[in-house]
Structure 1
Amino acid sequence: MGKQRILSGIQTTGNLHLGNYLGAIRNWVELQDDYDCFLFMADLHAITVPHDPAVLADNTYKVAAAYIACGIDPERSTLFVQSHLSAHSELAWLFNCVTPLNWLERMIQFKEKAVKQGENVSVGLLDYPVLQAADILLYEPDLVPVGEDQKQHIELTRDIAVLMVQPHG
């Protein structure tokens, strides 16, 4: 039997900070010998809020460099940029076609961020958890280490997975 698979990523909205290191990257470094780690730069998630495309592109490479500088070994872990793999967007679209809108409207993170953005809130922000579900289910990981703030999104991922195996009529 092979190693268990882990999937995790960090948005490329800015420079990594101590919280990213202590909360995620430090653990990834320790896990990469015992697990099949798939670690990504979540640039598609980063575009759900107002951003400068040039800065976002630059941040994506800075985040990749920081992963490596912190001890993530590309020989022992799979590193990738989310937007470079169209399957993320394609699977998210399929999930969008079956996910009830009211499931997304209940998401606490969406409500909190939407208040901050006011009338300029994007559909992408509402749809963020569906893309996250696609990220996760695409790689069929055994473990998805996330912060407590992502618990509701993980539960939605489970619900979407169940929905996808049911007949659609």
Structure 2
Amino acid sequence: MAGLRKVEYIMSQRGTPQILLDEYLYNRNRERQSSTHWRCVIKTCTGRCTTNDDILRNQTEHNHPPYMVFNWVDDDARFPLPLWNHHETEGPRTNNSLEGFHCRLNQSLPHSHPNIFWFMEVIRRIEHAERSKLVQVNFGAAPPSRKRVYREIDNQIIRLKDHLRLGQKTPVQFLDAVGHLLKLA
């Protein structure tokens, strides 16, 4: 099952080495002379592997689906699909507006740890400005328009979703087209 493959290491959040191999994540179990023994991060799993000088020597079977499927894709995944997937979203695909607000808030503060009174004053100014924008929109003012390029991308994604829904494109064709559209590939 395992050939002579070089393994790549990643660091866990706690700073310990891990390896990601065939979509399974392993923690270091023990080291002996030149061999390092690894075990699957799922405690109840029987999946193990051994490396010698960054070369995979052997690997055993797992009793669960791969990491991505287990955490993100399955029906009973750790992070359910509606939590992170925006396929059916008709609106912003990013949190850029929140990032922009955070940047403007930081710029309006005199330094990184202002006193509470200065912070409250900045928040009051922001609230006043946002209320003014809401009043204008409520009285019929048009909200600021998005750039044409982003409106066109949104329209093309909506068309691609329709083709997927109608069966005119397979999921792989859909993902390929969206990746090309967003310049991911």
TM-score of the two chains, using structure 2 as the length reference: 0.23
Q: Which has the larger radius of gyration?
A: 2
Higher relative contact order (CA 8 A, sep 6+): 1
- Bigger fraction of residues in helix: 1
TM-score of the two chains, using structure 1 as the length reference: 0.25
- Bigger fraction of residues in strand: 2
